[in-house]
Structure 1
């Protein structure tokens, strides 16, 4: 028998990156006025992130796809990261409309599941693309003997395909348990997670915290530590000879740092939220602080999808070079077409004369 969760409008604000709502009783802890401010600012903030994220990530994908030179292994990973960010920001307008509509979900059950699946896949896939990026830099700078064998584009594409599949697999609970239901006491039809019982809920959340946070962050931290140590070893002649590798590594480190700053607080408070629902942390004040911080850090996690394209331009010297070459290529093509048109017009006028 399925338990029917109850929600308050406060808990429906926890749509955030995962779009999750908690199952609570109406009589539980009252929330302060911070929630009203958060609810008011959400639609405008989400739509701003959506517009900037779509423009920035489409631009990155166009540069990687249109440029005549084949992408390097690192660029394949970063291109897929941009695609994951684009997937996230493309799903956000639905939640902006949902929040602006008083958490009334007007899009039906199918979009309730697909939109949240897209958001979940971004969260899971993004961090594992960064795991692949970290491993690539680790191999390139620390394990030089494996450099040629392991760092091949075909293996990079296969790795990206596996990450997308893994992200889809981790999103299966969303497809199974997402539901649309009318709550009479709130007078709202909400898109929410309808777990069959608390054990399944806590098991799914605990597994996702472990697989989407503990494991990948541990791998990234280990690789990053060794990458930084290798970069400091200026006595190795290979580093001076392969300046391109160093530039690519600096960009990767900037992207990794931005990701950790934006996402680690969110995952930490997600973990605390799981502990609250498991009754390991008890108290209205604790629950209120965790809920508010979880919501605020969700906004920070959103911003990472906008920040990455900016980092490519600011830190990525090779990326800027590709952009310049594309503009120069377009300029030469336009000049060629213009010159051909003028020659054709001149020839036509001479014939008429």
Structure 2
């Protein structure tokens, strides 16, 4: 796993640092979509900075050398990035939904300062949801090595499993439903618009599919498999363990899902850059707006 984490660090650091530079130096004035994308890039960059420690940890023989405080901090940063990414991707999808499906409703009402306030609230919510990881994360001896536990000790499992289920519902399930409904409405609006060419509709459809696929191949499997793995651990402690083959299959799939969910920090810069570039072209005329309207206002009105 350590080679993957090493590659992820370089790709995520370069991609998100460049994205932040573009947002700060080239994207002026900011519209609401840029505010959310900037916060997403900051979230990814902060977690990318912790990947060298994680790669060194997974380098054989998988030994955590950095003490309890850094173990807790790494787990906290992972949780903040995970739910920060989910929440800001949801904000981006809702923002596009309002700008494309209800442009007259948000015109003159939805401003960058509103997005900044909502982003601040999202950071506070993410920190609050992730704070319990500072309590549950712990070091555990294993032979001559020390493990940095990403979940909880066996004695804390009855308290950690409900917390994990709560995170799965509020931190992943609800945002996924909001994102899915938003993109479905966007696709319906685009497909019904006679001013948008078939090629542009296909392009938007592909990009929207990528946004939904982020949940389908990483966020949803990760939360599902994490809770299944925790449930199996609890069954083992209660002497009700399922077949060892089934336990091993779930555990292996869970380890793979952790790799996939971490890969998102490399994919996000490509995703929101592609979405921004594609939507600039077609979102200018869907409701008959004047093509001479300033770009900044058009981005806000039609694309958010």
For Structure 1 versus Structure 2, the TM-score category normalised by the shorter chain is 0.7 to 0.9
Q: CA deviation at 1:101?
A: 4.5
Cα deviation for residue 187 of structure 1 reads 2.0
Residue in 2 aligned with 1:253? 208
Structure 1 ranges of 4+ moved more than 6 A: 248-252, 318-321
From 219, 230, 234, the counterpart of 1:263: 219
Structure 1 residue ranges without an equivalent (≥5): 1-41, 322-353
**1:249 positional shift:** 6.9
The alignment status of 1:120 with 2:56, answered yes or no, reads: no
Tell me what 1:130 maps to.
89
Contact map agreement 1:104 1:190 (CA 8 A) in 2: yes
Q: 1:173 to 1:194 in 2, by over 3 A?
A: farther
**From 187, 193, 200, the counterpart of 1:228:** 187
Query: Does the 8 Å CA contact 1:251/1:316 hold for their aligned counterparts?
Result: no
Q: Per the alignment, in what secondary structure is the counterpart of residue 306 of structure 1? A: helix
> Is the Cα contact below 8 Å between 1:312 and 1:319 reproduced in 2?
no
Secondary structure at 2:50's aligned position in 1? Answer: helix
Q: Does structure 1 retain, via aligned residues, the 8 Å contact 2:211–2:271? A: no
Contact 1:251–1:312 (8 Å) recurs in 2 = no
SS of the residue corresponding to residue 148 of structure 2 reads strand
Please state how far the C-alpha of 1:251 moved relative to its aligned partner.
9.2
Larger Rg: 1
The alignment's TM-score, normalised by the length of structure 1, stands at: 0.69
Higher relative contact order (CA 8 A, sep 6+): 2
Match of 2:146 among 179, 189, 192: 189
1:269 positional shift:
1.8
In structure 1, what is the Cα distance between the partners aligned to 2:114 and 2:129? Answer: 22
Following superposition, the deviation at residue 112 of structure 1 comes to: 0.9
For residues 17-40 of structure 1, what are the alpha-carbon distances to aligned partners after superposition, in whole Å with 9 as ceiling and x for unaligned? xxxxxxxxxxxxxxxxxxxxxxxx
Range with greater deviation from structure 2 (268-277 or 45-54): 268-277
CA separation of 1:84 and 1:290: change in aligned 2, threshold 3 A? same
Unaligned runs of 5+ in 2: 282-304
Give runs of aligned pairs for residues 133-152 of structure 1, distance below 5 A: 133-148=92-107, 150-152=109-111
Give the RMSD, CA atoms, in angstroms: 2.9
Name the CA distance, whole Å, in 1 between partners of 2:32 and 2:204: 12
In structure 2, which of residues 1, 4, 7 is the aligned counterpart of residue 48 of structure 1? 7
2:125 to 153, 161, 166: 166
CA-CA distance at 1:313 after TM superposition: 5.0
CA distance in structure 1 between the aligned counterparts of 2:100 and 2:84, rounded to whole angstroms: 24
Q: 1:195 touches 1:201 (CA, 8 Å); kept in 2?
A: no
Q: Which residue of the partner structure matches residue 34 of structure 1?
A: none
Q: 1:102 aligns to what SS in structure 2? A: coil
CA apart distance, 1:179 = 2.0
Aligned-pair distance for 1:311? 3.4
- Deviation (angstroms), 1:191: 1.8
User: How far apart in 2 are the matches of 1:320 and 1:48?
Assistant: 32
- Measured in 2, the distance between the counterparts of 1:252 and 1:77 equals 18
